[in-house]
Chains A and B, each alone.
Chain A
C-alpha cells in the first residue's frame, strides 16, 4: 500500500516535471525525462527487474556522465559548431529578430516634468514636426505610432548615468497630473542621465535620446515571414537560412552573423586530413603523442622496476624509509608538482638555470627549444609516474617464490641475471595490461602538457594553434578553447579519432588481461 502511494506521488511529480520542461520550450528534454522516468518506473515496479533496482543509479550515471558526453562529442564532430556558429538555429533566429535599428525618420518630442519623487518624462509620438514624411523611403511602415502622449510610469530620479530601462504608459491611463514642462536648462543639467535611459513602450519597442528635445524609436530590424525567411525592414532584403553553410544569407549569398550550428557531414574529417593547414600539424602532433606516451612508459617502467629491485634486496636497511620517500612524487598533487617544475625550469627565474649558470655558465631555454621542451616533459612525466611502477613491481615480486632466487644465488647468478632470467619473465605478463593502461593514460595526459608547456613552442609554419609539445588532446583543447575561432566541430572530430584509437588499445588490453587470467587458472 505504502509503495503504491509512493509510486503515485512519484508519477505526479514526474508528470509535473514533464509539463515544466515542455512549457519551458524544451521538448527534447521533456521526451528524455519521460523515457528515463518510464524506465525507472519499469525497473522499480516490475517483478523481473529486481537486480536492476540496485544497478539503476549506477548505470544511469554511467550513461549520463560518461556515455552521453562521448556520443555528443561524436555528434559535434559532424557539425560546424564554432565561434562563428555558436548558437542553435532557434537562438540565432531569436538574436536576429531581436536586432533593432534607429528610425532616423521618426522622432518623438519629449518634455521633462518635475515630480514629487524626481522627474517624469512625457513623449509625444506621431510625427507632427519630425522629418518630412515624404522624405521617407516608399513602403516603410510610417509613422511608427499614431499621435499620442506617453509618460514614464514611475518618477525617475535622473541621478544615475548607468544604462537604465524605464517603462512608459499612455498619459490617458497613467493617472498623473503633469506640471509645466521644465525649461531646457534643466534638460541640459540632466542630459547624461536622460541619455542613459532606454524608454520602453507598452508594445515592446524602445526609444533613446536623439537630441535635447527628441527621442528616436528603435524598430525591429527583421520581420519573420511565414516561410521562415526574414525580411530586413530597412533594406527590404530577404534573408534565407542556409543549413549547408549555417548562416542566414542574402539573395546574393552574403552570410549574415550570427551563424547557427548545423550538420556538415564529414567536412571536419575531410579538413583534418586533406587541408594542408590542418594535416601537417595533425600528423606531427600525432607522432609526438605516440612518442611521448611510448617513451614515458619505457622510462617509468625502467625506473620503477629498478627501484623496486633495489628496495627488495634482503638486508637493505632503511628500505621502508626509502620506499616512502620515493613514493612522494606520486602523492603530491600533479597540478602542484608540475607547476613547481615549470617554475624551476623557467629560463630567467628558475633555480635549475641558476645552478647551471653557476656551474657551467649556461642558461638553456627549456621551454622555448623544441628538443629541450620535449626532454623536460619526459623528465617531469617520468618523475610523476615511476612510483606507480615501483609499487606494482614490489607487489609483483613478492608473489614470486623465494626458492627461485635462492637457487639462482646458489648457482652464482648476479642481480642482473636474476632479474633477466627470473623476475622479468614472471612479472611480464601481469605487468602488460598495466603498461598498456599507462600508455593509454599518457596518450591523453593533458594536464602535464598543458600546465608545463601549453604545447609550446608553437609551429611557425602553420596557422592553427599547435606546437612541438602538443599531444592530440591538448591540440583539440587549443582548437576548441584557445584559438580565436573556437572550432568545437573540428576539435570534436579529432577527439573522435582519439576515441577510436583508445578503443583499439583497450580492446587489445582486455584480450591480454583475459589471456593472463587464463594462464593463471
Chain B
C-alpha cells in the first residue's frame, strides 16, 4: 500500500521491528539453545553456546541406538524414550477416541433438544471444569488402588488407568462441540425431519457429517491434552517401562545423574511433532476461544 509516512511514523516502525526482534531473540533463546545442546558432544556446558563440532551421539541415544565414543566405550540409551513416546500415543489415542464417543451425543442434546434442567446442567458442566484432577490426586490414587485389587488391568501402574482418569477432560469438550453445533443452521435437519427422519437419524446422517471438522479438532485437542498431562500420570504410573513421555522426561535431569544433552535430543525429537500438530490445530481453537470471550 503506497503511503506517505511521516518521519516519526517511520522511526516508530523501525523501533517496533527492533523491539520485536529483540523480544523474539530473548523469547526463542531457550528453544534455539535446546537444539544446539542436542547436537553438542557431552552432557555439560562446554564454554560456547554454538557447538564447535556437531555430534549426533544424543540423537542416537534418543532413537534407542547405542553409540561408541572416541575411547571405544559403548553408551547405551539411558531411558526407553521411544517406548515412552509409544505409551503416550496409546494413552492419548484412547483418551481422545473415548472422549469423542462419550461427548458427541451429549453435545447434540444440549444444542438441539429441549429438556428440563438444560441451562442448569450446562452451567454445572462449566463449573465442573473448574476443578482440575490435580486437586483430586489423592482420591484418584485411592480409587485406582482399590480398582486394581478387583480389576488388575485397571490398577496403579497401568496405562488404562491413566486413560480413564484423563476422561475428566470431557465437560470442556462437550461445550466445544455444542458450540459448533450451535453455529450449524437447523434448516437441513428440519427438512430431514419433515421427510420422516427420527431425531437419531437426523443426528447420525445429517448433523454428524457436517460436524466432522469439529470432531477432528476435538480429537486433536483431547489428544494433545492427554500427551502433555503430567500430574495424574505421575502418580498412577510407576515402573520405568510404563511411563509416558511427560512423566519420564524429567528423569533426565536428576542432579546426581544429569543428562542434559541426552535430554535435549529426546526433547526435540518428541516435542517437535506435538508442537507442529498444535500449531495446526490452534487455528480452530483461537476462533473458538475469542468468539467464546465475546459471546459470553
Chain A residues close to B by CB (< 8 Å): 24, 26, 29, 50-55, 57-59, 61-62, 64-70, 72-73, 75-76, 81, 307, 310-311, 313, 315-316, 322, 324-337, 339-344, 346, 349-351, 354-355, 383, 391-392, 395-396, 399, 415, 430-431, 433-434, 440, 444, 446-447, 450-451, 473, 476-477, 480-481, 488, 491-492, 495, 498-499, 502-503, 505-506, 510, 513-514, 516-517, 520
A513-B19 contact, Cβ under 8 Å, with A58-B174, A336-B271, A395-B290:
no
A336-B270 contact, Cβ under 8 Å, with A54-B105, A66-B131:
yes
Flag whether B286 is at the interface (Cβ < 8 A): yes
Q: How far is the CA of A495 from the CA of B132 in the complex (A)?
A: 11
Flag whether B170 is at the interface (Cβ < 8 A): yes
Closest B residue, CB atoms, query A74: B139
B5, B105, B170, B258: the one within 8 Å of A62 (CB): B170
Q: How far is the CA of A507 from the CA of B259 in the complex (A)?
A: 46
* Smallest beta-carbon distance A408→chain B, Å: 15
A57-B271 contact, Cβ under 8 Å, with A66-B131, A76-B139, A488-B138:
no
Flag whether B54 is at the interface (Cβ < 8 A): no
Flag whether B212 is at the interface (Cβ < 8 A): no
Closest B residue, CB atoms, query A520: B296
* Smallest beta-carbon distance A502→chain B, Å: 5
* Smallest beta-carbon distance A3→chain B, Å: 12
Chain B residues, CB < 8 A from A311: 20
A395, A430, A505: the one within 8 Å of B296 (CB): A430
A58-B170 contact, Cβ under 8 Å, with A327-B282, A335-B228, A391-B286:
yes
Q: List 19 A-B contacts (CB under 8 A).
A: A24-B150, A29-B150, A54-B113, A55-B109, A66-B128, A69-B136, A69-B139, A72-B139, A311-B20, A333-B278, A335-B250, A343-B263, A344-B33, A349-B45, A354-B45, A395-B293, A481-B137, A488-B138, A510-B123
A332-B138 contact, Cβ under 8 Å, with A54-B105, A343-B253, A514-B296:
no
The reply to whether B228 and A333 form a contact with Cβ atoms under 8 Å apart is yes
Flag whether B275 is at the interface (Cβ < 8 A): yes
The reply to whether B130 and A502 form a contact with Cβ atoms under 8 Å apart is yes
Chain B residues, CB < 8 A from A434: 293
A344-B286 contact, Cβ under 8 Å, with A54-B113, A335-B228:
no
Q: Mark B258-296, 1 if CB is under 8 A from A, else 0.
A: 101001100100110011001100100011011001111
The reply to whether B294 and A307 form a contact with Cβ atoms under 8 Å apart is no
Q: How far is the CA of A55 from the CA of B12 in the complex (A)?
A: 56
Closest B residue, CB atoms, query A311: B20
Q: How far is the CA of A298 from the CA of B295 in the complex (A)?
A: 24
The reply to whether B13 and A342 form a contact with Cβ atoms under 8 Å apart is no
Q: How far is the CA of A326 from the CA of B23 in the complex (A)?
A: 9
Q: How far is the CA of A516 from the CA of B292 in the complex (A)?
A: 12
Q: How far is the CA of A343 from the CA of B113 in the complex (A)?
A: 53
The reply to whether B125 and A62 form a contact with Cβ atoms under 8 Å apart is yes
The reply to whether A383 and B27 form a contact with Cβ atoms under 8 Å apart is yes
The reply to whether A344 and B30 form a contact with Cβ atoms under 8 Å apart is yes
| Residues of chain B in range 84-99 having any CB-CB distance to chain A below 8 Å | none
Residue picked from A307, A351, A516, most chain B C-beta under 10 Å: A351
The reply to whether A340 and B102 form a contact with Cβ atoms under 8 Å apart is no
Flag whether B192 is at the interface (Cβ < 8 A): no
**SS of A interface (majority):** helix
Chain A residues, CB < 8 A from B296: 430, 433, 513-514, 516-517, 520
The reply to whether A491 and B138 form a contact with Cβ atoms under 8 Å apart is yes
Flag whether B206 is at the interface (Cβ < 8 A): no
Q: Count residues of chain B with CB under 8 A from any CB of chain A.
A: 98
Chain A residues, CB < 8 A from B115: 51-52, 55
The reply to whether B30 and A341 form a contact with Cβ atoms under 8 Å apart is yes
The reply to whether B228 and A510 form a contact with Cβ atoms under 8 Å apart is no
Q: How far is the CA of A492 from the CA of B12 in the complex (A)?
A: 55
Chain A residues, CB < 8 A from B17: 316
* Smallest beta-carbon distance A317→chain B, Å: 8
Closest A residue, CB atoms, query B149: A91
Chain B residues, CB < 8 A from A473: 134-135
The reply to whether A340 and B127 form a contact with Cβ atoms under 8 Å apart is no
The reply to whether B136 and A70 form a contact with Cβ atoms under 8 Å apart is yes
The reply to whether B45 and A340 form a contact with Cβ atoms under 8 Å apart is no
- 9 additional contacts, CB 8 Å, given A62-B170, A335-B249? A62-B128, A66-B129, A73-B136, A335-B246, A354-B49, A430-B293, A492-B138, A498-B135, A513-B296
Chain A residues, CB < 8 A from B267: 336, 339-340
Closest A residue, CB atoms, query B21: A322
* Smallest beta-carbon distance B31→chain A, Å: 7
Chain A residues, CB < 8 A from B110: 55
Residue picked from A73, A355, A516, most chain B C-beta under 10 Å: A73
Chain A residues, CB < 8 A from B82: none
Chain A residues, CB < 8 A from B19: 310
B1, B24, B168, B263: the one within 8 Å of A65 (CB): B168
| Residues of chain B in range 37-61 having any CB-CB distance to chain A below 8 Å | 37, 43-45, 47, 49
Chain B residues, CB < 8 A from A73: 135-136, 138-139
A57-B105 contact, Cβ under 8 Å, with A349-B260, A391-B289, A399-B294:
yes
Chain A residues, CB < 8 A from B20: 307, 310-311, 322
List the 4 shortest-distance A-B pairs measured between CB atoms, nearest first.
A58-B106, A517-B296, A395-B290, A51-B115
The reply to whether A333 and B275 form a contact with Cβ atoms under 8 Å apart is yes
Chain A residues, CB < 8 A from B214: none
Chain B residues, CB < 8 A from A495: 135-138
A24, A334, A340: the one within 8 Å of B30 (CB): A340
Q: How far is the CA of A252 from the CA of B250 in the complex (A)?
A: 49
A76-B138 contact, Cβ under 8 Å, with A26-B150, A54-B106:
yes
A59, A69, A334, A392: the one within 8 Å of B106 (CB): A59
The reply to whether A325 and B28 form a contact with Cβ atoms under 8 Å apart is yes
Flag whether B121 is at the interface (Cβ < 8 A): yes
Q: Mark B138-150, 1 if CB is under 8 A from A, else 0.
A: 1111110000001
Chain B residues, CB < 8 A from A327: 279, 282
Closest B residue, CB atoms, query A57: B102
Chain A residues, CB < 8 A from B295: 517, 520
Chain B residues, CB < 8 A from A70: 131, 135-136, 139
The reply to whether A446 and B134 form a contact with Cβ atoms under 8 Å apart is yes
Q: How far is the CA of A246 from the CA of B24 in the complex (A)?
A: 59
The reply to whether A315 and B230 form a contact with Cβ atoms under 8 Å apart is no
Chain B residues, CB < 8 A from A395: 286-287, 289-290, 293
Chain B residues, CB < 8 A from A330: 278, 282
Flag whether B176 is at the interface (Cβ < 8 A): no
Q: Mark B1-34, 1 if CB is under 8 A from A, else 0.
A: 1010100000011001101100110011011011
* Smallest beta-carbon distance A321→chain B, Å: 10
Q: How far is the CA of A337 from the CA of B30 in the complex (A)?
A: 8
Flag whether B108 is at the interface (Cβ < 8 A): yes
Flag whether B197 is at the interface (Cβ < 8 A): no
Q: How far is the CA of A331 from the CA of B44 in the complex (A)?
A: 27
Closest B residue, CB atoms, query A506: B130
Chain A residues, CB < 8 A from B245: 335
Flag whether B160 is at the interface (Cβ < 8 A): no
Q: How far is the CA of A330 from the CA of B34 in the complex (A)?
A: 16
* Smallest beta-carbon distance B133→chain A, Å: 7
Flag whether B217 is at the interface (Cβ < 8 A): no
